[in-house]
Amino acid sequence: MRKYPVYTTVLFLFCLVLLPREDFGHSCRLLPAPALYGDSIIGPGVVPVLVSGQFSFTEGAAVDRRGNVFFTDQPNNRIWKYDTDGKLSIFLEPAGRSNGMYFDKKGNLISCADEHEEMWSISPRGKVRVLIKDYEGKHLNGPNDLWIDNKGGIYFTDPYYQRDWWERKGPEITGEKVYYLPKGKQQPVPVADDLLKPNGIVGTPDGQHLYVADIKAGKTYKYHIMPDGTLSDKQLFVAQGSDGMTLDNRGNVYLTGNGVTVYNPQGEKILHIPVQAKWTANICFGGKDKSVLFITASEFVYIVPTLVKGVE
C-alpha cells in the first residue's frame, strides 16, 4: 500500500470531514507536495475578484496599518483608497503622477512622484513634503518603486521610462540604478549600478535581504543588506523579472507582469494566478488581517482572498 506524508493525509481528512461537499466538489484528492503548497496560499477554485475597471492604468499598491490599500491611477494623476469595508474613494488629486508607494512607520505614504522625478512624503491628511528632488543637481530618471527598512531608510529603483508629461527627451544621469536614502538625509546613495532596468523592489521583514527585479533582463536578484545600507552578495533568485513585488509571512515572493507568479524562499515556482488584464503592475496584502491580495492590473483592480498574510 502506498504511504502518503502526514500533511497530505491531514489535508485529505480535512477535505472529507470539514469542508462542505458543494464548496470543495471532487477536487479533494491527493496531490504532489508543490501543488499542495500552492493550494495552501489560496483556496481551491479561488480566482481574482474584480473591484473596479474605471481607471486608465493602476499602479503603486500600498497598505496602511489598518489594512486600507492605496493605489495610483497614474495617467489620471490620482491616488485612490480602497478601505477595509470595500469602499473606493479618491485620496489625493493631483498626485504628482505617483507610481510606486509604501507607508512609513509614522503613517505617511511615501511616493515615487514621477511628474518631476521626485520622492514625496504624503501625510494622512494629504499634505505633501518633498524628500528627494534631484541627484547631485540633476533629475533622477524617474523613481519607480520603493521599500522602507526598519531604520526608516528608503531603497528605490530608478529606471528610465519616457513619460508623455515630461518636456525632456532623455536621461540627465548615467545608468539605471538602485538607490538608498538614509533616514534624515536629502541625497540618495547608489547601491546597485549593474542592472539593465531595475523595477520592482521589496525587502525582508528582518532587514537582512533585498529583492530587486531587473525587468529588462528578465531576472530577479537577492542581495544581502549591510549594516550601513549598502548591498552585497548579489545572487540570482529567479530567471523572471517583475513590475511591483511583495512578500507573505512565509517568505514567499510575489512577482507581477503576466498575472502573479509566486516563488517560495528557495526560488521554486509554487503558484501562478492568472489575471484578466494586459499587464499586472503591482500587488500588496490588505484587509483587516492583511490576508487579501490586492492587485493593480492595467485599468482594473482585483482582490484575491488568501490563506497567508502580508508582512511589513
How far apart are alpha carbons 26 and 112 in whole angstroms? 47
Cis amide bond preceding 5, omega within 30? no
**In the block, residue with C-alpha cell 499602479:** 59
For residue 229, give the amino acid letter: G
Distance CA(50)–CA(58), nearest Å, equals: 13
- Which residues contact residue 113 at a Cβ distance below 8 angstroms, ignoring those fewer than 6 apart? 95, 96, 97, 98, 99, 119, 120, 130, 143
In this predicted structure, what is the pLDDT of residue 35? 41
Interatomic CA distance for residues 297 and 282, integer angstroms: 7
> Mapping DSSP to helix (H, G, I), strand (E, B) and coil, where does residue 168 land?
coil
Q: What is the dihedral of CA 240, 245, 249, 251, to 10 degrees?
A: 30
Strand 78-82 relative to strand 69-73, pairing: antiparallel
Q: Is the distance from CB of 247 to CB of 310 less than 8 angstroms?
A: yes
215: nearest Cα among 234, 202, 200: 200
For 144-188, write each residue's pLDDT tens digit: 999 999 999 999 999 999 999 999 999 999 999 999 999 999 999
The pairing of strands 219-225 and 231-238 is: antiparallel
Considering all CA atoms of the chain, what is the largest pairwise distance in Å, rounded to the nearest integer?
73
Task: Tell me the per-residue pLDDT of 234-257, one tens digit each, with 9 for 90 and over.
Answer: 999 999 999 999 999 999 999 999
Q: CA 292 to CA 51: how far, in whole Å?
A: 12
| DSSP per-residue codes, 212-249 | EEETTTTEEEEEEEPTTS-EEEEEEEES---SSEEEBT
Mean pLDDT, the chain, rounded, equals: 90
Within its chain, how far is the Cα of 37 from the centroid?
21
d(CA 110, CA 101): 6
Residue 38 has pLDDT above 80, yes or no: no
**Does the pLDDT value for residue 36 go beyond 50?**
no
Q: What is the pLDDT of residues 39-77, one digit of tens each?
A: 589 999 999 999 999 999 999 999 999 999 999 999 999
Please give the pLDDT value at position 213.
98
Q: How far apart are CA 103 and CA 41, in angstroms?
A: 25
| Cell numbers representing residue 285 in the block | 496584502
In this structure, which amino acid lies at residue 132? I
The pLDDT value recorded for residue 312 is 81
pLDDT in tens, 81-135: 999 999 999 999 999 999 999 999 999 999 999 999 999 999 999 999 999 999 9
At residue 119, the pLDDT reads 98
DSSP bridge partners of 71: 80
Phi, psi of 214 (to 5 degrees): -100, 95
Burial of 186 (0-12, 13-18, 19+ CB in 10 A): exposed
Quick one: pLDDT band at residue 271, thresholds 50, 70, 90?
Answer: very high
